[in-house]
Structure 1
């Protein structure tokens, strides 16, 4: 009799475990179903095209607006060659990278050749001289570094 009782208890435990697993599975399915009914756009089964995002520009004039002699979008100086520089240089990097690298005409040419050889910069054609002239004229090479050397310093000793 004890053997039958042990078998019965074992089978009841198995049925209990199976029922528990089924109830958990049904609960999860129910939660997912309610969630998808509440917001069907979250369904993995609906084939949806991604929404296209567009940047609203109030007009062509705003996009290339000049204020106080500065191109607003890039911060570059308004002068002959500005748009050639904007169209060719700011496609790949920030205008800040252009303005912080103040170089001579020869160094700009060498930098452009380096970008063409290693960074896939396209052939600038007749715009190359226009761009280089713009950069040399408006962002000339500096002879000083980031700050001038300190002078007339009065040194003192720190005491513990």
Structure 2
């Protein structure tokens, strides 16, 4: 470093100082938490996301950033559920109201999910309505069909 001109040494020192300060800033002041987590991504949260911060386009009845069905209560579900995990954990599961309540209790007991308070009823209503078990079996009978006679 002795053979470098003084102004170049000053420039290198200032550059290193800026890099160190920027690194400290990113370490101590992380960026805002994203609303939508990637598939399989989890994070620890102590409270739901602010409902007012939940936004995103709705196309064909689907909240496009999360893939959740857009109906009454979707913003509460996004705020409470995606604070910790991807919405895929909701969309890939099916349960009746009792099943969803059991999952919530399990998360409260083992995953540090907070008390949902008065909002729990609306969240359970949404989940039971939109992510209930799908009845499988035969397709319904065909209706409104114009049948034609086969010729011998």
Please give the range of the TM-score, normalised by the shorter of the 2 chains. Answer: 0.5 to 0.7
Dislocated runs of 4+, deviation >4 Å: 33-36, 44-49, 51-55
Contact residue 67 and residue 91 of structure 2 kept, 8 A: no
Residue from 113, 119, 127 that aligns with 2:119: 127
Is residue 2:55 matched to residue 1:78?
A: no
Distance in 2 (alpha carbons) for counterparts of 1:70 and 1:119: 28
User: Greater Rg, structure 1 or structure 2?
Assistant: 1
Where in structure 2 are the equivalents of 1:73-112 lying within 5 Å? 73-112=65-104
Q: For CA contacts below 8 A with separation 6 or more, give which structure has more relative contact order.
A: 2
Aligned length: 113
Is 1:37 equivalent to 2:11 in the alignment? yes
- The structure carrying a bigger helix percent of its residues is 1
Which residue of the partner structure matches residue 25 of structure 2? 50
Q: 1:40/1:88 Cα in 2 relative to 1: closer, same or farther (>3 Å)?
A: same
Rounded Cα–Cα distance in structure 2 between residues aligned with 1:45 and 1:126: 47
Residue 99 of structure 1: how far off its partner (Å) = 0.9
Tell me the TM-score normalized by structure 2.
Answer: 0.58
Runs of 5+ consecutive residues of structure 2 not aligned to the other structure: 34-51, 137-152
5+ long unaligned stretches in structure 1: 1-24, 145-160
Deviations 1:8-66 (A, max 9, x none): xxxxxxxxxxxxxxxxx857xx5xx94762572323897566267579xxxx8993322
Q: RMSD between aligned alpha carbons? A: 3.6
- Report if the CA contact (8 A) 1:36-1:43 is conserved: no
Counterpart contact for 2:96–2:133, Cα < 8 Å: yes
